[in-house]
Amino acid sequence: MPRLIAGRLATGIPTLLAVSLCVFLIVRLIPGDPARLLAGDFATDTIVDELRQRWHLNDPLPVQYAAYVGGLVRGDFGRSITTSTPILPELTERFLRTLELAVAAIAVAALVGIGAGILSAVRRATLVDYLATALALTGISTPIFWSGLILILLFSVTLGWLPAGGTGTLRHLVLPAVSLGFFGAGVLARQTRSGLLEVLGQDFVRTARAKGLPERLVVVKHALKNALIPVVTVLGDQFGRLLGGAILTETVFSWPGMGRYLIDAISQRDYPAVQGAILLFAAAVVVINLLVDLSYGVLDPRVRPE
């Protein structure tokens, strides 16, 4: 296990370096001059040049990137161009908000999606199966922002049960978590149904039934555990997607997370803020993939030596 963790972390470092380089180059292709944007339309060229010098925007790109990586090694993500404050404290606070939303959304997706997939596989070719399949297709086909607006219209505007946006209480988390998790529920439902149907047709399941074991025990103890490895893979992939998909959800529900922070940073040409936010997303994906790999050994002892 320690060798697996060390190996995954070792491969994650070059990945993060590649991501940092790509983001560093891409954000500098965004049209507009951050110094001119910060100084204002009526600022003189002298003021704009002073801002460029202050933020080292006149340095060659290799020099800027070397300074950026050097700061990352020291734990310094840089300072915001617009506010002149260190971006790491705000990045941490915003990321925790997005992580809170993503964890709630993946919980909704797992409960609804895996539950619907199990019912669909056990009740194959019945009304339950058709309804679960329709739910899965609806979740996959529905844009996140559209489902969010529908939830606001129904539960906030019409019924008045839940707040339409903001944060502060558990009630504020319900609508964005359901909106964000609806898509993942559809994907997980289809994967769970497909994997469970494949396992239910194997010989060891028929042997368990022939021994007279209850159907619930056959499904939960024997079939489901063997069908969960691909489901866990999809679950990890969906969790990474939910972190990125939270950008739209946070905008619709005015959730103060990384999504809104990233959009504001892009519009203001705040290079350090954009680079730090995307690098933090990439690090989160690396950690998620590591946890998914570790979960394989828990679900199937045969893969532990590997």
User: What 3-state DSSP class applies to 22?
Assistant: helix
Q: What is the pLDDT of residue 83?
A: 80
- Number of domains observed in the structure of the chain: 1
Q: At what angle do helices 61-73 and 271-299 cross, to 10 degrees?
A: 50
Q: Are 245 and 148 in contact (CB under 8 A)?
A: no
- What's the angle, vertex CA 181, arms to CA 178 and CA 185, rounded to 5? 120
Q: What is the pLDDT of residue 251?
A: 81
Q: Is the pTM of this model over 0.85?
A: no
CATH of the domain at 148: 1.10.3720.10
The residue ranges of the chain whose pLDDT is under 70 are: 1, 4, 33, 36-43, 245, 300-306
User: Is residue 201, in this structure, part of any structural domain at all?
Assistant: yes
Q: What is the residue type of 136?
A: A
User: What 3-state DSSP class applies to 58?
Assistant: coil
User: Is residue 152, in this structure, part of any structural domain at all?
Assistant: yes
Report CA Rg, the chain: 24
Q: What is the pLDDT of residue 39?
A: 67
Domain boundaries, position 298 = 100-257+285-303
